[in-house]
Amino acid sequence: MKFLRYGPAGAEKPGLLAKDGTIRDLSGQIADLSGPVLAPDALAKLGAIDVNTLPVVDGSPRIGPCVAGTGKFVCIGLNYSDHAAETGAAVPPEPVIFMKATSAIVGPDDDVLIPRGSEKTDWEVELGVVIGKTAKYVSEADALDYVAGYCVSHDVSERAFQAERSGQWTKGKSCDTFGPIGPWLVTKDEIADPQDLPMWLKVNGETRQDGSTKTMVYGVAFLVSYLSQFMSLHPGDVISTGTPPGVGMGQKPPRYLKPGDVVELGIEGLGTQKQTFRADA
């Protein structure tokens, strides 16, 4: 199933993408796509509802972030062997973990704001993993039982803030609007293998990233298990699992985003995003 949230920012309603391409309203069934609703069995019950009994959403509403109530936005750095090579970094012996502020989360087609003083705003298409039920000290073998589904995640980054201003990466990753997720929360039954998903990103129509989750160093099941050894993962938490090669800082010479640039990205089976980058006020 493909679940989504639609409507004005801050007032989104839950919905379901029907096979005919229409959006069906789920607000008569649930308050939002958050909390216990995200448990795999709960999502399965929603998906079993006769779609023809659900109201059709008219027009082309704004699509919001595909999940609500995200308490943690956890990101994994240097998790693609080919991306690590392009940055000149060694593949880490354990996953590199950093946090992205949840205030960065926006819808998949919302504008992205280039922050004041930025000269190195960069792009990163990533596979997002949405947690469906609380995971603590889980094994790798059982880890996917705790996953609600997958989404496209755009880990927008300001490289100077991230790497040249001392301290941790978080401040280069957490600027407002730097976390588009969606358009859909795709339940795991629709994804045969999360480690075999083609992914791509274009800037102004030019392909910059063309990769696959095949080259991830640490796979989804490992990451869910690994993170759960250090922190409880709760329903609605999002793990952004790293990016393939082709980011701006890896270009020769490096190329970064400027106001007016349009970025399109997508992952097979998970949908696409499109953002216009604008200068923050």
Q: Are residues 80 and 22 in the same domain?
A: no
Q: Are residues 219 and 148 in the same domain?
A: yes
Q: Each residue of 214-246: pLDDT tens digit?
A: 999 999 999 999 999 999 999 999 999 999 999
The answer to which of 2-16, 157-171, 208-222 has the lowest mean pLDDT is 157-171
pLDDT at 263: 98
Mean pLDDT, the chain, as a whole number? 95
Q: Each residue of 49-73: pLDDT tens digit?
A: 999 999 999 999 999 999 999 999 9
Has residue 274 been placed in a domain? yes
Q: Each residue of 76-130: pLDDT tens digit?
A: 998 998 777 777 778 889 999 999 999 999 999 999 999 999 999 999 999 999 9
Q: Are residues 119 and 221 in the same domain?
A: yes
**CA distance from start to end of the chain:** 39
Q: Are residues 123 and 231 in the same domain?
A: yes
Q: Are residues 158 and 45 in the same domain?
A: no
Q: Are residues 228 and 267 in the same domain?
A: yes
Q: Give the model's confidence band at 150: pLDDT under 50 very low, under 70 low, under 90 confident, else very high.
A: very high
Q: Are residues 99 and 33 in the same domain?
A: no
Res 165 pLDDT > 90:
no
Q: Give the model's confidence band at 253: pLDDT under 50 very low, under 70 low, under 90 confident, else very high.
A: very high
The DSSP bridge pattern shows strands 112-114 and 121-122 to be unpaired
How far is 121 from 124, CA to CA, in rounded Å? 10
Has residue 224 been placed in a domain? yes
How far is 46 from 110, CA to CA, in rounded Å? 27
| Residue 260 structural domain | 73-279
pLDDT at 241: 98
Q: Which residue has the higher pLDDT, 151 or 78?
A: 151
Q: Are residues 149 and 39 in the same domain?
A: no
Res 15 pLDDT > 90:
yes
Q: Which residue has the higher pLDDT, 87 or 12?
A: 12
For residue 28, report the phi and psi dihedrals to the nearest 5 degrees.
-80, -10
Mean pLDDT of the 196-202 span: 98
Q: Are residues 44 and 87 in the same domain?
A: no
Q: Number of folded domains in the chain?
A: 2
As a residue count, the chain comes to 281
Has residue 64 been placed in a domain? no
pLDDT at 269: 98
* For the chain, percent of residues with pLDDT exceeding 70: 100
What Å distances lie between residue 253 and 11, 87, 203, 208, 258, CA to CA?
42, 12, 16, 13, 16
> In this structure, what CATH number is given to the domain that contains residue 250?
3.90.850.10
Contact assessment for residue 129 and residue 148, using Cβ atoms and an 8 Å cutoff: no
